[in-house]
Amino acid sequence: MTDRLRRAALIVLGIIWLVPVYLIVVNAAKTPEVYGATSAWMPSGFAPLLANLSDAWTQGRIADGVLSTTLYSIVSPLIAVVIGASAGFAIVVLRLRHGFAWFVVIFSASVLPMQILLVPLFQGFVAVDLYDTHLGMILVYTVISVPFSAFVMRNFFSGIAAHVFEAAVMDGATTWRIFWRIHLPMSRSALVAVFILQATMVWNDLILGLTLTHSESTRPVMPALSALQSTYGGAAMPTVLAGGLLVSVPTVVLFLITQRAFSKGLALGQF
């Protein structure tokens, strides 16, 4: 009986989750005339969907945004995961002096709301010529991804027995070798989970992209999508919705491909 209730609850929650997806797909497949004349819940065929997808891809210059965001959402989380794992390893395994204080310092970077940091970030980026550059965006996304990575990896390394490190030291392994050859492979699932979460966060970012970029070749995909819907000269709503479908596909595919490792990492990472 309990399993049936659980299954029924999951089905209901799945349907609720799919309702917004249904609305986006149905309305992205309408012409502007039909969109304004019919209910948002009523489909009118899917013939205009490909045309709307093509318009969103070309008119909004989403292609450039996808390329830039792909770079940001791969490089920055990778660097952040390695830095976070290094911090967790030093604090937990190497028992760094005042390790908890160092952890608090690292994690405190995520305490302040991002809106408070926008003006200093903009001024600093302009001052050091990082404004509207790929390097600048990679740096800022890496920095904001490190605290969460360090938090998860610290928790994960806390669950690894201390005698693993001690045995490796007795065998003559260096600290660097122990980190790369033993602890990182053991934490593969947690690393994958953190990478996916941080890559999704970078992919969905809007506010940093709007503040720190302005050219089409550098701005992330979300600011490119938001440019489709402007007060003056914006694209029709079906085209905007089609653009939303386009930019959501990569993250959905990422979760589907790595769902097993992601679920395992969620359980092992203790977050």
For 183-200, how does the pLDDT look when each residue is reduced to its tens digit (9 = 90+)? 888 888 888 889 998 999
State percent of the chain over pLDDT 70: 93
Question: Has residue 230 got a pLDDT over 90?
Answer: no
Domain ranges of the chain: 1-47, 55-269
C-alpha to C-alpha distance for 102 and 87, rounded to whole angstroms: 9
**What average pLDDT does the segment 47-73 reach?**
84
pLDDT at residue 72 tops 80 = yes
- pLDDT-derived band at 271 (thresholds 50, 70, 90) equals very low
Q: Identify the pLDDT of residue 22.
A: 87
pLDDT score recorded for residue 266: 60
pLDDT band of residue 130 (cuts 50, 70, 90) is very high
Provide the mean pLDDT of the chain: 84
Q: Is the pLDDT of residue 178 over 70?
A: yes
Q: Could you report the per-residue pLDDT of 142-151, keeping only the tens digit for each?
A: 999 999 999 8
| CATH 1.10.3720.10 is the classification of domain 55-269 | yes
Q: Is pLDDT at 102 greater than 70 in this prediction?
A: yes
| In the predicted structure, residue 231 carries a pLDDT above the cut 60 | no
Residue recorded with tokens 């309408």: 30
